[in-house]
Amino acid sequence: MNFLDFCSGIGGFRMGLELAGHKCIGFCEYDKYAVRSYKAMFDTEGEWFADDVTKLKSDEIPYADIWCFGFPCQDISVAGKQKGLRGERSGIYFSIIDLVKGKKEEDKPTFLLIENVKNLLSINSGFDFATVLSELDEAGYDAMWQVLNSKNFGVPQNRERVFVVANLRSRGRREILPVEGENGAAIKQIIAGPQGYRVMSTEGVSCTLASNAGGAGAKTGLYFIDQSTKKTKLTEESRCITSRYTAGITNRTAMNSGVLEAHPVLTPERLNKRQNGRRMKNSDEPMFTLTSQDRHGVAIKEATKKGYAEAEKGDSINLSFPGSNTRRGRVGKKIAQTLDTQCMQGTLSSELRIRRLTPKECFRLQGFSDEMFEKARAVNSDAQLYKQAGNAVTVNVAYAVALSLGTDKDV
């Protein structure tokens, strides 16, 4: 089926629908930087385009079987001012529905595919979501909805979003939702034991970027560093343990080894103040949820209290997340909080240093390929890339929902 991509961002919906076999014939996006990335990532030559949905008229929009849109969530999100659906940003929903209402029945799309934050279901005591359904009903659509979490669709990020699939009533109705997924992205422990003995599986987790390209610095897994004050070296495998092996620091070269760990962190500059959820995550948990406002990073824990400058130049590290005694904000056993894109991390102890997540890692957490990211990076700054990743629809989830829509033959 053909589709139009409204409030497109960098094309999370588009990529998911295209992977499911549907064809994009045009898009609409107001943010000029997002448009740059979108045009770099996708072949948009000859497609319909508009930059401001609030200024469009119904007859200016070509026919498509599907309209998809993740309308702005700033007025709905729990992180915002809770103005609700009538807020200036989130009110764009009404502009899009009015465009549908202005179409003749035969020119209306068969499906409307809508995404927003989970809080859309409950803000203003649920009356805003009732308004969403009422507007769809007036436009001639029956609606189904479901909260889907990105962690259940192959990416290590806890990201709950409500998806609404509306079917034009005059063309019949069939069951599309629910869509089910399985959390296969969390890091799993294969062999238990103390640090240095346990073995972790990184299947389903994208590679951690290192500062050095190629070699050990660009690989993943558990790496070892000498617990030595001389000629410290990062090795792909631990050295043989001898009878002289100890747990402490030695003045002899290459005597001992220690493991480097990475811990996802949120808002480190507020260590002594309670936040909306835990700041640190466990090794078997997905990452925090990406947003367009916060920053994330990993706290790298060294094997000793002393730093190893040479190892720090190009370490590639296994993601491991320490736990927390705080219960506030937990979303479930073995599941981390939301990742965002601007919360700066800070030093947590004398044994930790902070590395901010790279834009590429954020794109990976949203299901975009490295090839797509490189195209976006060629036309935008890191600041814009962080924002775009946080605002994006997770590709994997869009793909799963798109598969449930079927094909032209099913309509």
pLDDT digits (tens, 9 = 90+) for 220-271: 344 455 556 666 666 655 555 455 545 555 666 655 555 555 656 665 555 4
Q: Answer whether the bond into residue 178 is a cis peptide, omega within 30°.
A: yes
Proportion of the chain above pLDDT 90, given as a percent: 42
Q: What are the boundaries of each domain within the chain?
A: 2-182+388-410, 210-357
Proportion of the chain above pLDDT 70, given as a percent: 58
What is the SS3 assignment for 51? coil
- 2-182+388-410 topology per CATH: Rossmann fold (3.40.50)
Picking from 77-86, 188-197, 293-302, 365-374, which range would have the lowest pLDDT averaged per residue? Answer: 188-197
Q: Of residues 13 and 261, which shows the higher confidence score?
A: 13
Q: How large is the average pLDDT for residues 337-350?
A: 37
For residue 266, the model assigns a pLDDT of 60
For residue 209, the model assigns a pLDDT of 37
Half-sphere exposure of 397 (CA within 13 A, CB side): 30
Alpha-carbon distance of 12 to 369, in angstroms, equals 11
H or E stretch at 403 = helix 395-405
H or E stretch at 145 = strand 141-149
Kindly name the residue from 73, 207, 240, 362 that is annotated as catalytic: 73
Alpha carbon of 257 to those of 136, 151, 215, 222, 352: distances in Å?
Answer: 62, 34, 19, 12, 17
Q: Of residues 43 and 226, which shows the higher confidence score?
A: 43
Q: At a CB cut-off of 8 Å and minimum separation 6, what does 243 contact?
A: none
Q: Of residues 297 and 254, which shows the higher confidence score?
A: 297
Q: Sorting pLDDT into bands at 50, 70 and 90, what band is 1?
A: very high
**pLDDT value at 294 more than 60:** yes
For residue 188, the model assigns a pLDDT of 57
Residues forming beta bridges with residue 223, ordered by sequence position = none
Picking from 112-126, 168-182, 295-309, which range would have the lowest pLDDT averaged per residue? Answer: 295-309
**pLDDT value at 49 more than 70:** yes
Picking from 170-174, 178-182, 197-201, which range would have the lowest pLDDT averaged per residue? Answer: 197-201
For residue 112, the model assigns a pLDDT of 95
Picking from 66-75, 83-92, 216-225, 320-329, which range would have the lowest pLDDT averaged per residue? Answer: 320-329
In the predicted model, what is the mean pLDDT of the chain?
73
* Rg, the chain, Cα only: 24
E-state strands within 303-362:
318-319, 352-356
**pLDDT value at 375 more than 80:** yes
**pLDDT value at 323 more than 60:** no
Q: Of residues 251 and 21, which shows the higher confidence score?
A: 21
Q: Sorting pLDDT into bands at 50, 70 and 90, what band is 51?
A: very high
Q: How large is the average pLDDT for residues 39-57?
A: 96
**pLDDT value at 335 more than 90:** no
For residue 194, the model assigns a pLDDT of 53
For residue 179, the model assigns a pLDDT of 79
Q: Is 73 known to be catalytic?
A: yes
For residue 319, the model assigns a pLDDT of 32
Q: Sorting pLDDT into bands at 50, 70 and 90, what band is 317?
A: very low
Alpha-carbon distance of 285 to 264, in angstroms, equals 10
